[in-house]
Amino acid sequence: MRTIGILTSGGDAPGMNAAIRSVVRTAASLNIEVVGITRGYAGLIQGDFRRLNTSSVSDIIHRGGTILLTARSEEFRTKAGRAIALENLYREGIEGLVVVGGDGSLSGAVHLAKKGMPVIGIPGTIDNDIAGTDYTIGFDTAVNTALNAISSIRDTATSHERIFIIEVMGRHSGQIALASGIAGGAESILVPEYPVDYDRVVERLENARRLGKLHSIIVIAEGAGSAMDVNKEISKRTKLESRVTILGHIQRGGPPTAFDVILASRMGAMAVKLLASGVTNRMVGLVDNKLVDLEIESVLKEKKQINPDLYRLADVLAL
Ligand code: F6P
């Protein structure tokens, strides 16, 4: 294999740059050239390519976002769009492709693989909602960003003896809410995987007051409902004073944690080695701290579950 391409697609995630760097430098060590594709599948259709060498990726390891930019492409969802993308890959002499992104990006990779383009996927999304890997790139950073925010909010919550409802990202997944909620000592964690039980939420708040707690923190994943609605419900049912903070895209930016940089570096190197050895249509994953590769389609068919032990632990520790 002489030339491979790399693109980042979907929502950006801290650590994507470290993955790009690892792909480029591992490829260089194997005498393989790398073409960077700008704006994910949108750039693939537009033929927006640039050669990347080891110096193009210097000084990016610590930066959030992605130097290749990212996008969600509607055109790539069409047969015609995908045909153009494939043609552009062949015209550029690209013999293998690394796709870094979430589930939508990985299903795009499957389409290309089925048309004969060797493709390896790297799970990059703050949501950590991809089966077949314990962690996706960006999750650890997002959790730590949320945790820092929760700790800051806790100070003001205590001073004013208030309840804070903090909404974190996760359209279909409560992974960020669960991890940051446990680490932040939340009284209640609301996730899309389980129905919201307002009786239980209120019972916990009142119990916390009885025990002399000056504040309470509720962490809610955006997919579980709106923090505003939770706030209204609490005001309706109790006399406690509450406020809402929606963390939003702050969770997607910032320098990646050491964990995410190391994860991205390991996954990037593995992706190149798989392509170089003729493997295709696989996603790199991390299971029990060991790198694995799995068929992308089977990974996408599976729904990653919330760890029930962690969920129960959160409940016990919040008392
Ligand atoms: O998939 C990552 C994610 O950050 C989700 O948690 C969130 O719901 C979504 O992307 C937001 O997407 P956008 O930046 O396009 O609004």
Report the DSSP beta bridge partners of residue 295: 282
According to CATH, the superfamily of the domain at 140-253 is Phosphofructokinase domain (3.40.50.460)
Would you state the pLDDT for residue 115?
97
Would you state the pLDDT for residue 207?
92
Measured CA to CA, the distance from residue 127 to residue 272 in angstroms comes to: 24
CATH topology identical between 3-138+256-301 and 140-253: yes
State the CATH class of domain 3-138+256-301.
alpha beta
134 is catalytic: no
DSSP string computed for 67-91: TT-----SGGGSHHHHHHHHHHHHH
Would you state the pLDDT for residue 92?
98
Measured CA to CA, the distance from residue 223 to residue 228 in angstroms comes to: 13
- Domain residue spans in the chain? 3-138+256-301, 140-253
Ligand 1 atom nearest 223 alpha carbon:
8
What lies within 8 Å, CB to CB, of 134 at 6+ separation is: 285, 286, 287, 288, 289
The tokens for 301 are 């068919």
Ligand 1 atom nearest 173 alpha carbon:
6
Low pLDDT (below 50) residues in the chain = none
Measured CA to CA, the distance from residue 235 to residue 148 in angstroms comes to: 26
- CA of 21 from ligand 1 middle (Å) equals 24
* 125 ligand 1 Cβ < 6 A: yes
- CA of 312 from ligand 1 middle (Å) equals 27
